[in-house]
Structure 1
């Protein structure tokens, strides 16, 4: 079974930075907090100790999650792929709403990288699924909660 998860170069870098931060800064800090809390005596009623242990659990869980994602990721560097005008994972797509001529620009990224505020949409989102495989000039229909919206693909960028 192929469980490789697509990821952009920037997405992989961000996950690796978070993992490094957790391992080198957060983990040692919470271990020190646990040691300090232990010195306060009775662990049964020591709120600082229990809070630090809970935080340690969250940190260890996140470290495992990040290591798993990074071990299963397939990094795709879209800048190394020749431009063909076709929408593929990692490309930045400029689309125009046919009804109101409003232009929008999105980068198609992996699930962990998706951030609508920064115009990064998941490859599994309805709009990305409609765009993948299409080319500049194509019209795509996207089903939204407000009904069907048609977009024209204006430009596909490998940035």
Structure 2
């Protein structure tokens, strides 16, 4: 988390802000109540509920800290405001895998928004790093699973 700015799409930013609000207003107060109730059961050294609630509190606080940083450093990039044939953050890209002869497509988004099953990959992934800055018609090679895969950039769009 050493970056000065955190690129994120508008929908990703909205989702992160809502999650942060939920953690602060619902989850944090709820876990405080859980800790108090578990504390009331007596001997804390053997109180599994107490230790579980403390662990949950630690997880919530860490998530809040990360989301506060992300939202505070957000550089909201709306793909709808971008254009061109060069791959950038927010691009939806169609590639042709030259070895398997199959087409793949995905959108380049923040780590927070990445979901490979929905065809969203992080801008920090090896594939995204390899194609960012490249143009339609170029071929790039990406190291993956011990081999090199060649992709031809067929199209770039911003939607």
- TM-score w.r.t. the length of structure 2 is 0.88
Q: Is the 8 A contact 2:122 2:128 kept in 1?
A: yes
Query: What is the aligned partner in structure 2 of residue 139 from structure 1?
Result: 139
CA deviations 1:30-52 (Å, max 9, x no partner) are 11212222332333433222221
Distance change (3 Å), C-alpha of 1:89 and 1:26: same
Q: Is the 8 A contact 2:92 2:157 kept in 1?
A: yes
Query: What is the aligned partner in structure 1 of residue 105 from structure 2?
Result: 105
1:63-82 paired onto structure 2 within 5 Å: 63-81=64-82
Structure 2 spans left out of the alignment, 5+ residues: none
Query: What is the aligned partner in structure 2 of residue 60 from structure 1?
Result: 61
Query: What is the aligned partner in structure 2 of residue 156 from structure 1?
Result: 156
Query: What is the aligned partner in structure 2 of residue 25 from structure 1?
Result: 26
Structure 1 spans left out of the alignment, 5+ residues: none
* Alpha-carbon distance in 2 for matches of 1:148, 1:42: 58
Query: What is the aligned partner in structure 2 of residue 37 from structure 1?
Result: 38
Q: Is the 8 A contact 2:93 2:107 kept in 1?
A: yes
Three-state SS of the structure 2 residue aligned to 1:40 is coil
Three-state SS of the structure 1 residue aligned to 2:17 is helix
2:13 is the alignment partner of 1:15: no
Cα drift, residue 2 of structure 1: 5.9
* Alpha-carbon distance in 2 for matches of 1:131, 1:57: 38
Pairwise CA RMSD: 1.9
Q: Is the 8 A contact 2:84 2:157 kept in 1?
A: no
Distance change (3 Å), C-alpha of 1:45 and 1:155: same
Query: What is the aligned partner in structure 2 of residue 120 from structure 1?
Result: 120
* Alpha-carbon distance in 2 for matches of 1:77, 1:106: 16
The count of corresponding residues between Structure 1 and Structure 2 is 158
